[in-house]
Structure 1
Amino acid sequence: MTAQEILAKLVSFSVLGGESNLKIINWLKDYIESFGVEIYLVPNKTNTKASLHCRIGPAVDGGVILSGHTDVVPVKEQPWNTNPFELVEKPDGNLYARGSCDMKGFLACCLAVLPKMVKTKLKKPIYFAFTYDEEVGCLGAPSLINHIKKTYSEKPKYAIIGEASMLQPIIGQKSIHIIDITVNGSQGHSSRIKQEVSAVHEAARIVMWAEEKMNSLINSGSIDSRFEPPHSSLHTGIINGGIAPNIIANKAFLSLDIRCLPQDDANQMYQDLKNYCKSREKALNPIFSSFRIDVVENHPIVPSLNTNENSDVINLIGKITGNYNWTTVSYASEAGHFANAGFESIICGPGSIAQAHRANEYISKNQLKKGVEMIKNLVKHLKTSI
């Protein structure tokens, strides 16, 4: 099958982040096994989802992991011009479908080159590592990585995460942490604002705390000009509460999106937030003893990526893409998890991130072709030396 034919099949599986991915993972399993490759599935606790990994080539140190995810973001209320779960080729040379760019295009490239991988006498192995629930917090990656480390006696050296980058190497990403906060105040007449505890007012203070925290990091000099913006960011994307202007709100909800530079401590940021909320509880419990602020992780911290500029993986990517000019991004991916597990990690894949998460998402046929060429070049490189 060609990469385009495989991509057409992959996008037909409308697996959203958080949903069961067993249909697509079983199709991937059957396809890969048809070439005589042994597959390992890593299910979640309820056996409703699974990640997949396998090795092609010899059981020796120094191999390369090719990593991608099987889930996509929703299409609801987006103005699609075509069926988002059917690959549509248009005269402009683009292939339209949800996930065509993010990131089933990369999976299709890997699978299209699989027959060549199997037939080639590789000196170093190639691994596939395909996950679930990347789009809702990279939830499947940690267990998959742990399973890889336990399964193989040898140690892979590199991890290439094929997120859409127009095949430009990406060596740095910010961490991401989404935190849901529920403020429980007391209800009463608006004239009694000093005798009650307004959940809306306290939610607003948390928003201002986040703004001031971000500014304090900037003012302290925690800057990395490789990123845009060049500092850690704290952003309130959702806030709501109250039922009427003249009623003190007893309930408010807000959601914080925190993206940290590699040099800033995301865990400490989370602890600082919890400490601030506890201090507000202590200050206002004398007014309303049941005042409470519940701070809950929407998902665990997705770690940052900070691959060294002199890392061997940059040279490897340069050899198989012809592009040695690296960059950084402010979005998160599974690359940080692989890096923390000890693999030299880099983001590099076909398609443009500008097409991700939007209506009429597409990958160009040219980018898909170049993605296949990158994987073929990797096979050729591992056949000779690494």
Structure 2
Amino acid sequence: MTTQQILEKLVSFPVLGGDSNLEIINWIKQYIESFGITSFLVYNNDNTKASLHCRIGPAVDGGVILSGHTDVVPVKNQPWDTNPFELVEKSDGNLYARGSCDMKGFLACCLATLPNMVKANLKKPIYFAFSYDEEIGCLAAEALINHIKATYPETPKFAIIGEATMLQPIIGQKSIHILDITVNGSEGHSSRIKQEVSAIHEAAKIVLWAEEKMNTLVKTSNDARFNPSHSSLHVGTINGGIAANIIANKVTLSLDIRCLPKDNPNILHQDLIHFCKEREKTRRSIFSGFKIEVEENHPIVPAFSTNETAEAVDLIGKITGNYNWNTVSYASEAGYFANAGFETIICGPGSIKQAHRANEFISKDQLNKGTEMIDALVLHLEAIA
């Protein structure tokens, strides 16, 4: 099958983050095993989802992991011109479908080059590591990596995360931590604003706290490789109140924290908790039931930073011809692979500008170049001593 034919099959599985991915992962497993390669499934607790990994090539140290995820983001209420789960080729040279760019295009490149991997005289192995639930917090990455380590006595050296970068090497990403905050105040007539505790007014203080904390980080912690060059705090949603003349008794808001690799998101989390506890002490003299609850939306997705002189950067340069690295502020599974001890880099076909939007696409040129990159990796692993 060609890369485009495989991509056509992969996008036909409408697996959203949180959904069961067994249908697509079992198709991938059957495809891989048709070439005589043994693959392993790593199930979630109730066996409704599974990650997959396999090794192609010799059982020796120093291999390369190719990592991708099988889930996609929703399409509901997006103005698609075509069926999101059917690959449509248009005259502009682009292939349209949900997941075509993020990131089933990379999976298709991996699977299309599998026949060449099997035939090659690889001196170092190639591993596939395909996960589920990446789009809702990279929930499967850690278990998948642990299973890889437990399965193979040999240790891979590199991990290439195939997120859409236009095949530019990405050597760093920020962490992401999303917190859900609920402010519980006291309801009453708006004329009693000083006798009650408005959940909206208190929520506004949290927003200002986040802004001031970020301004402090701008001055005290910078990394010029990133844009923005500091850790960021952003309130993305805020909901509460029922009328202008009613003091709101409940407000919910979400806080998105993205930290540089050198900053600790746990510290910012604790700073927020401390601020909220201080507000509780201050306002409970007016309303004893005043409370601010802070909950994790999902666990912290870790940052990563690979030195620009690392072998992984040179490896990507050799197989893509692109040595011009960059960094990103979006989250991926790269931090988990880096924390596990692998030299990690993000590099894949397609543009992140197309991800998560209506009429998502990957160009045929990028899909072909992604396939060429992995074929070049095969040749590289054949040629090394």
TM-score for both structures, normalised by structure 2: 0.98
- In structure 2, stretches of 5+ residues that fail to align are none
Output the CA distance in 2 between the equivalents of 1:225 and 1:318. 22
**2:345 equivalent in structure 1:** 346
**2:242 equivalent in structure 1:** 243
- Output aligned runs, 1:183-198, within 5 Å: 183-198=183-198
Output the CA distance in 1 between the equivalents of 2:40 and 2:273. 39
**1:75 equivalent in structure 2:** 75
Output the CA distance in 2 between the equivalents of 1:317 and 1:367. 16
Q: Give the AA of the match of 2:165.
A: S
Output the CA distance in 1 between the equivalents of 2:157 and 2:97. 33
**1:275 equivalent in structure 2:** 274
**1:379 equivalent in structure 2:** 378
- In structure 1, stretches of 5+ residues that fail to align are none
Q: Give the AA of the match of 2:84.
A: P
Q: Secondary structure at the match of 1:313?
A: helix
Q: Secondary structure at the match of 1:166?
A: coil
Cα-to-partner distance string for 1:259-301 (whole Å, 9 max, x where unaligned): 1111211111111111111121122222222211111111111
Cα-to-partner distance string for 1:71-114 (whole Å, 9 max, x where unaligned): 11111111111111000111111111110011000000000000
Output the CA distance in 2 between the equivalents of 1:14 and 1:66. 22
**2:257 equivalent in structure 1:** 258
**1:130 equivalent in structure 2:** 130
**1:328 equivalent in structure 2:** 327
Instruction: After TM superposition, give the deviation of residue 383 of structure 1 in Å.
Output: 1.1
- Output aligned runs, 1:160-309, within 5 Å: 160-220=160-220, 222-309=221-308
Output the CA distance in 2 between the equivalents of 1:308 and 1:121. 30
**1:29 equivalent in structure 2:** 29
Instruction: After TM superposition, give the deviation of residue 132 of structure 1 in Å.
Output: 0.6
Instruction: After TM superposition, give the deviation of residue 130 of structure 1 in Å.
Output: 0.4
Output the CA distance in 1 between the equivalents of 2:260 and 2:60. 35
Q: Give the AA of the match of 1:122.
A: L
Q: Give the AA of the match of 1:7.
A: L
Output the CA distance in 2 between the equivalents of 1:197 and 1:50. 47
Q: Secondary structure at the match of 1:240?
A: strand
Q: Secondary structure at the match of 2:41?
A: strand
**1:152 equivalent in structure 2:** 152
Q: Secondary structure at the match of 1:298?
A: strand
Output the CA distance in 2 between the equivalents of 1:370 and 1:193. 62
Output the CA distance in 1 between the equivalents of 2:152 and 2:185. 53
Instruction: After TM superposition, give the deviation of residue 190 of structure 1 in Å.
Output: 1.5
Output the CA distance in 2 between the equivalents of 1:243 and 1:201. 14
Output the CA distance in 2 between the equivalents of 1:324 and 1:106. 20
Instruction: After TM superposition, give the deviation of residue 360 of structure 1 in Å.
Output: 0.9
Output the CA distance in 1 between the equivalents of 2:91 and 2:195. 67
Output the CA distance in 2 between the equivalents of 1:283 and 1:54. 57
**1:115 equivalent in structure 2:** 115
**1:369 equivalent in structure 2:** 368
Output the CA distance in 2 between the equivalents of 1:5 and 1:227. 37
Output the CA distance in 2 between the equivalents of 1:131 and 1:275. 36
Percent identity at matched positions? 76
Instruction: After TM superposition, give the deviation of residue 133 of structure 1 in Å.
Output: 0.8
Instruction: After TM superposition, give the deviation of residue 219 of structure 1 in Å.
Output: 2.0
Structure 1 vs Structure 2 CA RMSD: 1.0
Q: Give the AA of the match of 1:382.
A: L
Instruction: After TM superposition, give the deviation of residue 324 of structure 1 in Å.
Output: 0.8
The count of corresponding residues between Structure 1 and Structure 2 is 385
Instruction: After TM superposition, give the deviation of residue 175 of structure 1 in Å.
Output: 0.9
Output the CA distance in 2 between the equivalents of 1:22 and 1:313. 32
Cα-to-partner distance string for 1:181-206 (whole Å, 9 max, x where unaligned): 01111111212222211111111111
Cα-to-partner distance string for 1:223-259 (whole Å, 9 max, x where unaligned): 1121111111111110011111111111000001111
Output the CA distance in 1 between the equivalents of 2:152 and 2:246. 62
Output the CA distance in 2 between the equivalents of 1:265 and 1:244. 40
Q: Secondary structure at the match of 1:370?
A: helix
Instruction: After TM superposition, give the deviation of residue 118 of structure 1 in Å.
Output: 1.1
Cα-to-partner distance string for 1:12-66 (whole Å, 9 max, x where unaligned): 0011111111111111111111111111111111211111111111111100000
Output the CA distance in 2 between the equivalents of 1:100 and 1:207. 36
Moved over 2 A (4+): none
Q: Secondary structure at the match of 2:113?
A: helix
**2:47 equivalent in structure 1:** 47
